[in-house]
Amino acid sequence: MMARNTCPGSTVDLVKLVENEPFTPGGKFEFHITDDPSSPVVMRPDSVGRGVFYAFERSNAGCYSASTMIDVAIFDCTTDTCRSDLYVTYTVDKELMGKEFLVKDSLPKLKWKMEAETRQIGGYNCFKATAVVPANKSDFRNYRLKKQDDKKEPAKQDDGNKTNFMDGIEMPKEITITAWYTPDIPVNQGPESYWGLPGLILEINDGKTIILCSKIVINPKDKADIKPPTGGKEVSQKEYDEIMTKKMEEMQQMYQSQGGHGTGGGQRMRIGG
């Protein structure tokens, strides 16, 4: 089901292609995202000629919340004149400090490097590819704990002041993305914003999060009625990242100016005027 707040009845492992079924690109691809060591997030994309990636947040009780979506348009690859290019956009409904944004943009095209390693995922022969991308400062998942130098003494703090938690984390300049794709399914799509390889991406690892394909359905009978989000102020991904980064810097400055004791005093920040 593609409904909101839907409790799943069971967990399905990755299955092989249905025997004696003629293959056409597309189908239902269900992804399970696992943060290290665990994550309450599930990814479910539908891609039949034109499809949408669904990103659901899952509670401890197993219920799904409202989804974000990535709209994908794929050229017909059932003939000998298959085109390798495609048009990919996404629409995501995000909320930042009480203000709703509608992020619309094109998916980034990564410079993939083909590696020699191979492995099997769910019975499919997969090949490894890597890409190095700049770290997105507006994405909290990219922050890393700073490495402690045992030779250095910890910085002394003034009495009454708490340590700013931002002092213990840092944002790397670059992140290495590792993808495992299978040419057995010639669809150059994948979970989240990853695409552009000569086969369906069955696993993604960005160092902090692993996204693993858990189910494939070829030629599904039931077609999803997809309605993209429409609420919120429309911005590009770059504009949203700039707003997010600015507000994070304001929060850090406010925290430091008050001696690390939080905002307190009823101070408020405005977003978007």
Q: Over the range 2-14, which residues count as b (16 or more CB within 10 Å of their CB) and which as e?
A: beeeeeeeeeeeb
Tell me: the pLDDT tens digits for 189-218? Answer: 888 888 899 999 999 998 778 889 888 877
Return the higher-pLDDT residue of 190 and 146. Answer: 190
* Per-residue model confidence (pLDDT) at position 172: 76
Binning pLDDT at 50, 70 and 90, where does residue 260 land? low
| pLDDT for 238 | 79
**pLDDT per position as a tens digit, 73-99:** 333 333 333 333 333 445 555 555 567
Statement: residue 129 has pLDDT above 90: yes
Among 53, 242, 54, residue whose Cα is nearest residue 137? 242
Query: What's this model's pTM, rounded to 2 decimal places?
Result: 0.51
Q: Which three-class secondary structure state does DSSP give residue 259?
A: coil
Higher pLDDT, 207 or 224: 207
Mean of per-residue pLDDT scores for the chain: 62
- My answer on whether omega of the bond before 37 falls inside 30° of 0, hence cis, is yes
The pLDDT tens digits of the residues spanning 14-24 come to: 333 222 333 33
| Residues 69-107: b if buried by 16+ CB within 10 A, e if exposed | bbbbebeebeeeeeeeebebebbbbeeeeeeebbbbbeb
Angstrom distance (rounded) from CA 39 to CA 22? 36
| CA distance linking residue 207 with residue 40, whole number of Å | 17
DSSP per-residue codes, 114-177: EEEEEEEETTEEEEEEEEEEE--TT-GGG-EEPPP-TTSPPPP--TTPPPPGGGGEE--SEEEE
Q: Are 249 and 49 in contact (CB under 8 A)?
A: no
In one letter, which amino acid is 64? Y
Largest alpha-carbon pair distance within the chain?
A: 74
Q: How many residues does the chain have?
A: 273
pLDDT of residue 73: 36
More confident residue, 42 or 90: 90
Residues in a beta bridge with 142: none
- Give the distance from CA 237 to its chain's centroid: 13
DSSP annotation of 101 reads E
| Whole-number pLDDT of residue 193 | 82
Q: Region 58-62: what's the mean pLDDT?
A: 47
CA distance 58 to 64: 5
Q: Is the pLDDT of residue 177 over 90?
A: yes
